[in-house]
Amino acid sequence: MAEFERTFDICAGLDFPSVREWKQAHPESKAIAYFPVYAPVELIHAAGMLPVGLSGAGDQLDIQHADARFGSFICSIVKTTLEMGLTGHLEPFDGFLFSTICDSARNLCFVMKRNFPAMYVDFLHLPHNPSSPAAAQFLTEEYRRVLSEFERLGNCKVSDDALRSSIRLYNRSRALIRGLYELRRQNPEKVPTSELYQLVRAGTFLPVEEHITQLERVLAEVASRSPKKRDSIRIVVEGSFCEQPPLPLIRLIEEAGCYVVDDDFVIGQSWFDADLPTDGDPVPALATSYLDHSVYSSVRHDLRKPRWDGLVEKVRRSKADAVLFLIAKFCEPAYFDYVPYKQELERAGIPHLQLEFEEKSFTFDRLRTEIETFVESLVFD
Amino acid sequence: MTEKKEYRGSIHQQQKDLMLAWYEQLDHAAITGDPPTVSMMISGNCVELLEGFGAVPIYPEVNALQLAIRHQSLDPILAAEDLGYAADNCAYVKADIGCILKGITPTGGRLPTPTLILCNFVGCNTYLKWFEHLAKLQQAPLYVIDVPFMRADEPSRSDVDYVVKQLQETVKTLEQLTGRKFDHDRFRQAVECSSRSEELWSQIKHLARRSPSPFDAYFDAITLMGPLYVYRGKPEGVEFFEVALAELQAKVDAGQGVYEKEHFRVVMEGPPPYPYFRTFRDMFAKWQACAVASTYSTVGGLWEFGFRHDPENPFESVAMHMIAQNVTNRNYLQRYEQIRRYVEEWNADGVIIHFVKSCRLFSAGQGDMRDYFAKQLGVPTLYIESDLEDPRYFAEAQTRNRIDAFFESLEHAKATLSTRV
Ligand code: SF4
Ligand code: SF4
């Protein structure tokens, strides 16, 4: 699947070449960058704009300014995002959308606002109390507010029909991703995770229509593969929902003898466990889907169903042997969740290993040893 | 040179008595189950609502800071790290969880398992994790009041409605848990008391605009903050702040300040390093530098710019307080603006930014804040780093050197200015 790698490289360039290209082809249209984890891309799309996920700068950028602004003990993606802004790499964008994921990202939103005063910078409040009957109404209003900002920016009026067709498109891309994930659960040898990861992540850069075509092609191609099965253990990777691990690290995990049978990489791309309704009023549909049909993650809180139950369930569903916690350094939500996750896994007798990464790391010797030892301990158990 | 006059009027003793009485109530609740208790966060707390049930608040943050001030925070922190918490998790949480594991309490008395763990989520995402973990550990019921963050200058109608509805859900939940009927009149009276306490507290804060300031709005304010969170909705709270205001006003009238000669006036940003509270204070006392305003003292509520609870609209005003009138739920640029007003209206010479490793809510982006004050506004600004709970992160000599260097240069600037004049 060399094709992925090419797409991925093109998309993920520091200067967002695919976004520049899109803007050249659509000179009147705007591009909105959203900070991970979750963004209502349908609203952006319906306003005729290109939603693009910001996922840090990996190891491609030397931090010159952002360290002084954000100091120690702050995760890398917050700094590389600001650095990209301060060094002109985010120039193709007309606006930035942040949401309630964590305190560092929240403050970043307002630091961006001060440093880019001409830019549209907004903050979306996603409810942390979905069990309240009042949450749906609130989120509907919140989406309407943000939508009206997009309309202002895009100088357009978004009809319900337009929004419904955007939802339909994203339903399609998410269903395809769910399909690939399902295929990988059943035949992990057919869908190597390093490839799946790149394919899914490309979707944060590309127009959704293009991504759908890609996903469809790959799904057809992958189904017809018949590679040899390796003698690997089956693992779930948890904790990389926001800052993304370097690609070589994902490869390394596979090389060390693991089939990744589920993960939370680029989790926003598969945020809903079912299609969103495409009949009726679309904004409330988006809101209730977020509240009732979004997948768990460390930055989404729902008292009706603890995240740790979600993790155990995920392990069972994917028939995994173990969990690998892959946590971005200084990612406080992931650090916190590690404790209840670990407790529940231990209660369920599921082995686990915790590792830390930074998007900019490039040597992995120590991590390799730890993973290999872990795999061995499971194989010879 | 290091003479310092901490604010130690009769109020100091009264504060101690009030806080002890509060802990005694909690101890009583631990044995008898009465009164009902509710764990809450300090930030934008809705203590008034509890009055409608005769319930008493438990503030895990207060427990954690008490522990740190007494140099006892490391053990529980380590116990929590053994459980799997990271070195870089907020140490308030670790200390609190560690205390529960080890059965440590601030006074040695008992702490009850709360009737309800009420997560008033105002800005800090750690609150959600903290209280979820507590609920799991203590097997106690949890309710989250999701407070929309201040993403615009003012809250919207929908923000307020959303919080009001959740407050009403909280009332229902508490009715079920306590078997008591919510007493609306008592609630309204509590809101009324709060508005009076807040008026007095605000007047106290405005006394610091005088030179010399009669109290230190960072180090001394912390002493006054306990009663503000536990008692502001009660007559005892009103009375306490009346006495405090009178005593401080008398100091102003007599021309007395914190220091014999108030040399510098600063604004403090960020929570204090509780494990080295005294040492840190001395570093400022050495320079006769008085904090005339602080953002930390507005965590529980921001009253000096005019907000008061409103007995005519009790639910709405509690909601407004939670959304818009506490520093943690206000956005970062609103915090810049708050500090800017302090510098101008409280007539300060500089800003001290204390970066706290534990607390991303306060600290993430403080370098940008420094850039704004130092470069854009030209206000002398000092940036120092440590922690509010974990004693392992206080570099005493380095911190002292940086504070000394800052005041030396301020002094130099003042001297040059006065020779020029
Ligand atoms: S990696 Fe974690 S700490 Fe960093 S912005 Fe994302 S959620 Fe926040
Ligand atoms: S992160 Fe900061 S505001 Fe939040 S609980 Fe910790 S010290 Fe308090």
The residue extents of the domains of chain A are 22-158
Whether the pLDDT of residue B106 is over 90: the answer is no
Contacts of B132 in chain A (CB under 8 A): 301, 306, 340
Task: Write the CA distances from B241 to A108, A123, B168, integer angstroms.
Answer: 38, 38, 30
Alpha-carbon dihedral sign for residues A72, A78, A84, A85 = negative
Mutation test residue for ligand 1: of A109, A126, A242, the one with most atoms within 8 Å of CB: A242
Residue A71 contacts B, CB cutoff 8 Å: yes
Q: 3-state DSSP call for residue A148?
A: helix
Q: Which residues pair with A52 in a beta bridge?
A: A33
Q: Are strands A31-34 and B116-121 parallel, antiparallel or unpaired?
A: unpaired
Residues 89-108 of B with CB under 8 A from A: 89-90, 93
Given this model, what pLDDT does residue B214 score? 97
Residues 25-64 of A with CB under 8 A from B: none
**DSSP percent split of chain B into helix, strand, coil, nearest 5:** 55, 10, 35
Which stretch of DSSP H or E encloses residue A283?
A: helix A282-293
Q: Phi, psi at residue B322, to the nearest 5°?
A: -70, -35
Whether the pLDDT of residue B79 is over 50: the answer is yes
Ligand 2 centroid–CA B163 distance in Å is: 21
Do the Cβ atoms of A241 and A55 come closer than 8 Å?
A: no
Q: Which residue of B has its CA nearest to A344?
A: B136
Contact (CB<8Å) B364/A128: no
Task: Write the CA distances from B212 to B55, B201, B290, B349, B413, integer angstroms.
Answer: 41, 19, 9, 13, 20
Whether the pLDDT of residue B177 is over 90: the answer is yes
CB atoms within 10 A of CB B421: 5
Do the Cβ atoms of B382 and B403 come closer than 8 Å?
A: yes
Alpha-carbon dihedral sign for residues A340, A335, A112, A51 = negative
ipTM over 0.90: yes
CATH number assigned to the domain covering A22-158:
3.40.50.11890
Task: Write the CA distances from A143 to A30, A98, A112, A286, A343, integer angstroms.
Answer: 19, 13, 21, 8, 36
Ligand 2 centroid–CA B363 distance in Å is: 10
Band (pLDDT 50/70/90 cuts) for residue B2 is very low
Whether the pLDDT of residue B6 is over 60: the answer is no
Which ligand 2 atom is at minimum distance from the Cα of B91?
A: 6
Question: How far is it, in rounded angstroms, from Cα A150 to Cα A94?
Answer: 11
Q: Average pLDDT of B300-326?
A: 98
> Taking the CA atoms of chain B, what radius of gyration do you get in angstroms?
21
Given this model, what pLDDT does residue B1 score? 41
In single-letter form, the type of residue at position A175 comes to A
Of all residues in chain B, the percent with pLDDT exceeding 90 is: 94
In single-letter form, the type of residue at position B328 comes to T
Contact (CB<8Å) B89/A335: yes
Question: How far is it, in rounded angstroms, from Cα B186 to Cα B52?
Answer: 5
Task: Write the CA distances from B214 to A233, A283, B9, B246, B262, integer angstroms.
Answer: 68, 55, 11, 11, 10
Residue A138 contacts B, CB cutoff 8 Å: yes
Task: Write the CA distances from A340 to A67, A220, A334, B137, integer angstroms.
Answer: 32, 39, 11, 10
Residue A116 contacts B, CB cutoff 8 Å: no
Task: Write the CA distances from A373 to A135, A336, A350, A367, integer angstroms.
Answer: 46, 25, 17, 10
Computed over every residue of chain B, the mean pLDDT equals 95
For B338-356, write each residue's pLDDT tens digit. Answer: 999 999 999 999 999 999 9
Q: 3-state DSSP call for residue A370?
A: helix
Given this model, what pLDDT does residue B414 score? 85
Question: How far is it, in rounded angstroms, from Cα A11 to Cα A27?
Answer: 19
Residue of B157, B130, B123, B7 lying closest to B59 (CA atoms)? B130
Which stretch of DSSP H or E encloses residue A326?
A: strand A322-328
Whether the pLDDT of residue B180 is over 70: the answer is yes
Given this model, what pLDDT does residue A163 score? 98
Contact (CB<8Å) B84/A104: no
Tokens 């790499």, located at residue: A89
Tokens 């969170």, located at residue: B229
Q: Counting Cβ atoms within 10 Å, is residue B420 exposed (0-12), middle (13-18) or buried (19+)?
A: exposed
In single-letter form, the type of residue at position A53 comes to G
* Interface A-B: count of C-beta contacts within 8 A: 152
Of the candidates B146, B156, B331, the beta carbon closest to that of A127 is on B146
DSSP A191: S
CB atoms within 10 A of CB A13: 15
Given this model, what pLDDT does residue A13 score? 75
pLDDT beneath 50, residues of chain A: none
In single-letter form, the type of residue at position A267 comes to I
Q: pTM, whole model, 2 decimals? A: 0.96
Question: How far is it, in rounded angstroms, from Cα A213 to Cα A202?
Answer: 12
Residue B268 half-sphere exposure toward CB, CA atoms < 13 A: 28
Given this model, what pLDDT does residue A372 score? 97
Residue B299 contacts A, CB cutoff 8 Å: no
